[in-house]
Amino acid sequence: MLQSSTYFYRPRVALITGITGQDGSYLAELLLEKGYEVHGIKRRTSLFNTDRIDHLYQGPHNKNRRLVLHYGDMTDTSCLIRIIQQVQPDEIYNLAAQSHVAVSFEEPEYTANSDALGTLRVLEAIRILGLEKKTRFYQASTSELYGFVREVPQRETTPFYPRSPYAVAKLYAYWITINYREAYGIYACNGILFNHESPVRGETFVTRKITRALARIKLGLQDCLYLGNLDAKRDWGHARDYVEMQWMMMQQDEPEDFVIATGIQFSVRDFVNTAAKEIGMSITWRGEGVNEKGYDEHGACVVAVDHRYFRSTEVDSLLGDATKAREKLGWTPKITFEELVAEMVRHDLRSAERDELVKKHGFPTYAYAE
């Protein structure tokens, strides 16, 4: 029995789906710094998938453990209910998703299952377990909802027109979040986040693909960077700034949806030029006349356009207006585009240097990220 004078300090408890991803890792860091007990759902994979959170890992024998990982999957209702029942979270951040737009054209059904129905499963678990009044819910919504844009810049009231199986799945998740808020009084909110990047961005998203490839080209580990639509324009921010806003949205008196963006737009071509400048390289652009190996008649090339990276339906241009977040929550992004690119380049140069060393000692280094 506890002495009556004994006080239990129960830290706030957060559950992050997608904790092994880019945002999950930054958010876990932030919540641990704020004193939370953090639980995360990771998928069973045949190789380790916890690289991004290994620096936060605390073993099961650590008495003061504040980071706990659970095996689970967004497509498995029973495990989601079990984990939420066990963890009894104050806040759930639903970040898990098949998050690659181009891949969603290849895997539309799986994308719908994990991104749309996965969100429903978590919300239903809150309801089934009677946690409507206790557990707050954050949904990782996206600027991809705007797709074929009807208004520039895009704000909370701009109509949606999704242009990929990914965006259509996320549209369902957006609305089911609002429906559960209205129908059951759950504190549930959508962060409509524009693109955000970092040194731990997945290697097949265009920004990381660029910084990684240019670093490898600089060190002679790669000849060429193949890209799709160089004219696509995005509003790129830093993931560290954006997870702060995810947390802020969950601390309000009433749940609301917010756009999170920088309000500044660059093209893919601009990103390449900025990264090349940072790395001290001049770019040789090659058109679509490259042969199978990517070289044209001039020999080795640096950036070439390859049609396989074009999408069946493209989102040409996104630009966000985060006025509501600034006025209601006092949020503004702190890290500029140039600082973001510089940080990514520095990180990828270090990785390329490590690969160069490995190669010098006769070990293979792995190939291009497509």
Is 166 catalytic? The answer is yes
What CA–CA distance (Å, rounded) separates 43 from 55?
18
CB of 30 to ligand NDP, least distance (A): 13
Among 29, 91, 144, 278, the one annotated catalytic: 144
Q: Considering CB distances under 5 to 8 angstroms, the limit depending on partner class, which of ligand GDR, ligand NDP, none binds residue 20?
A: ligand NDP
Binding segment (CB under 6 A) for ligand GDR, from list 27-35, 75-83, 141-149, 320-328: 141-149
Binding residues for ligand GDR restricted to 310-369, rule: CB under 6 A: 311, 314-315
- Does the footprint of ligand GDR cover residue 267 (CB under 6 A)? no
Q: Which of 337, 310, 338, 316 is nearest to 152 (CA)?
A: 316
Is 254 catalytic? The answer is no
What CA–CA distance (Å, rounded) separates 123 from 44?
22
What CA–CA distance (Å, rounded) separates 291 from 279?
27
Going residue by residue from 17 to 56, which x/- string records binding to ligand NDP, judged by CB under 6 A?
-x-xxxxx----------------x-x-x---x-------
Query: Given candidates 83, 90, 99, 112, which one binds ligand NDP under the rule CB under 6 A?
Result: 99
Residues 102-117: b if buried by 16+ CB within 10 A, e if exposed: bbbeeebeebbbbbbb
- Does the footprint of ligand GDR cover residue 268 (CB under 6 A)? yes
Task: Phi first, then psi: give them for residue 13, nearest 5 degrees.
Answer: -115, 125
Binding residues for ligand NDP restricted to 172-201, rule: CB under 6 A: 193, 195-196
3-state helix, strand, coil in the chain (%, to 5): 40, 15, 45
What CA–CA distance (Å, rounded) separates 333 from 206?
21
Q: How many CB atoms lie within 10 A of CB 316?
A: 14
Nearer to ligand NDP, 149 or 302 (CB): 149
Q: Considering CB distances under 5 to 8 angstroms, the limit depending on partner class, which of ligand GDR, ligand NDP, none binds residue 229?
A: ligand GDR
Residue nearest to ligand GDR (CB): 232
What CA–CA distance (Å, rounded) separates 91 from 134?
8
The CA angle 165-41-248, to the nearest 5 degrees, is 80
Which DSSP letter does residue 344 get?
H
- Does the footprint of ligand GDR cover residue 259 (CB under 6 A)? no
Binding segment (CB under 6 A) for ligand GDR, from list 79-87, 94-102, 116-124, 257-265: 94-102
CB of 347 to ligand GDR, least distance (A): 17
- Does the footprint of ligand NDP cover residue 142 (CB under 6 A)? yes
The CA dihedral of 258, 17, 75, 97, to the nearest 10 degrees, is: 50
- Does the footprint of ligand NDP cover residue 74 (CB under 6 A)? yes
Query: Given candidates 178, 309, 346, 368, which one binds ligand GDR under the rule CB under 6 A?
Result: 309
- Write the CB contacts of 337 (distance below 8 Å, at least 6 apart in sequence): 236, 262, 264, 266, 274
Task: Tell whether the torsion through CA atoms of 118, 120, 126 and 129 is positive or negative.
Answer: negative
**Contact criterion met (CB below 8 Å) for 227 and 211:** no
Residues 65-76: b if buried by 16+ CB within 10 A, e if exposed: ebbebbebbbee
Query: Given candidates 50, 178, 228, 252, which one binds ligand GDR under the rule CB under 6 A?
Result: 228
CB of 90 to ligand GDR, least distance (A): 26
Is 124 catalytic? The answer is no
The residues that are catalytic are 142, 144, 166
Which chain residues interact with ligand NDP by CB under 6 A?
18, 20-24, 41, 43, 45, 49, 73-75, 95-99, 114, 140, 142, 193, 195-196, 202
Residues in the site for ligand GDR, rule: CB under 6 A? Answer: 99, 101-102, 142-144, 194-195, 204-207, 209, 227-229, 232, 234, 268, 309, 311, 314-315
